[in-house]
Amino acid sequence: MAEHRSLREPHDDRCSHCGGELATDQEWCLECGSARTLIHSAPNWRIALAIVGGVVVVAVLAFVLVLSSVSSSGGGPSGAAAAATVAARKAPASGTVPGWPVGLGGWTVALTSTRGRATAFVRAHRIAADGVQVGVLDSSLHPALRPGRWVVFSGRYPTKSQALAVAAQLRSLGQPHARPLLVGSPA
């Protein structure tokens, strides 16, 4: 009968580091603690961590941009209001003062109002000379407004918040009575 070695009996295998004896099923040297088999090093997690960190940063930036966009459309001047404000600072090229667009409602910024048409146009020309784009509307043509007034206005805006923002800017530019005004469709 052939001799069989027991798994527990010493084997002539030796540790490659210290030369200590190792059994056939022994993976670690009991003398020095070194491994009998090849141990692979852990993967480098820095690259994966950098990629995940970059994705998180991009996601946070996208969230901040969306939040900023949503909040500016609700309360502050949006791109349209800012463009309207820039347009409001340009004086009209001709000496004429436009009226309110026919058939359109919307928000505007009322700068002043008077009972007389001629007085309204004189005030409109004076404000336009300061570089503000203005128009004059007859409140009697708009059922939502008190009749018998001539209103000097600046701009047309789709929302009250945009008109509020432009009114604040115009007040800071020397128009102390600038206020938002809802103009309904003409009668």
Give the Cβ contact number of residue 9 at 10 Å. Answer: 9
Q: What is the pLDDT of residues 91-121, one digit of tens each?
A: 444 467 888 877 788 889 999 999 999 999 9
Residue 2 lies in a domain: no
Same domain, 57 and 31: no
pLDDT of residue 72: 55
d(CA 169, CA 163): 10
Domain count, the chain: 3
Confidence grade of residue 180 (pLDDT, cut at 50, 70, 90)? very high
Whether residue 21 is predicted with pLDDT greater than 50 in this model: the reply is yes
Whether residue 6 is predicted with pLDDT greater than 70 in this model: the reply is no
Where does 2-144 have alpha helices with state H? 45-74, 79-88, 117-129
Same domain, 85 and 161: yes
| Paired residues of 114 in beta bridges | 150
CATH of the domain at 99: 3.30.70.1070
Whether residue 52 is predicted with pLDDT greater than 60 in this model: the reply is yes
Same domain, 106 and 158: yes
Same domain, 173 and 91: yes
Same domain, 13 and 67: no
Same domain, 92 and 175: yes
The phi, psi pair for 87, rounded to 5°, reads -65, -35
Same domain, 58 and 110: no
Looking up tokens 């115009």 gives 170
Give the Cβ contact number of residue 34 at 10 Å. Answer: 13
pLDDT of residue 115: 92
Same domain, 95 and 113: yes
d(CA 153, CA 98): 10
3-state class of 22 per DSSP? strand
Same domain, 69 and 94: no
Containing structural domain, residue 94:
79-183
Rounded (5°) CA angle 45-48-52: 135
Residue 64 lies in a domain: yes
Tokens of 178: 């600038």
Q: What is the pLDDT of residues 125-169, one digit of tens each?
A: 998 888 888 999 988 888 888 899 999 999 888 888 999 999 999
With 0.95 as the threshold, say if the pTM is over it: no
pLDDT of residue 71: 61
pLDDT of residue 114: 92
Q: What is the CA radius of gyration of the chain?
A: 40
Same domain, 96 and 27: no
pLDDT of residue 84: 45
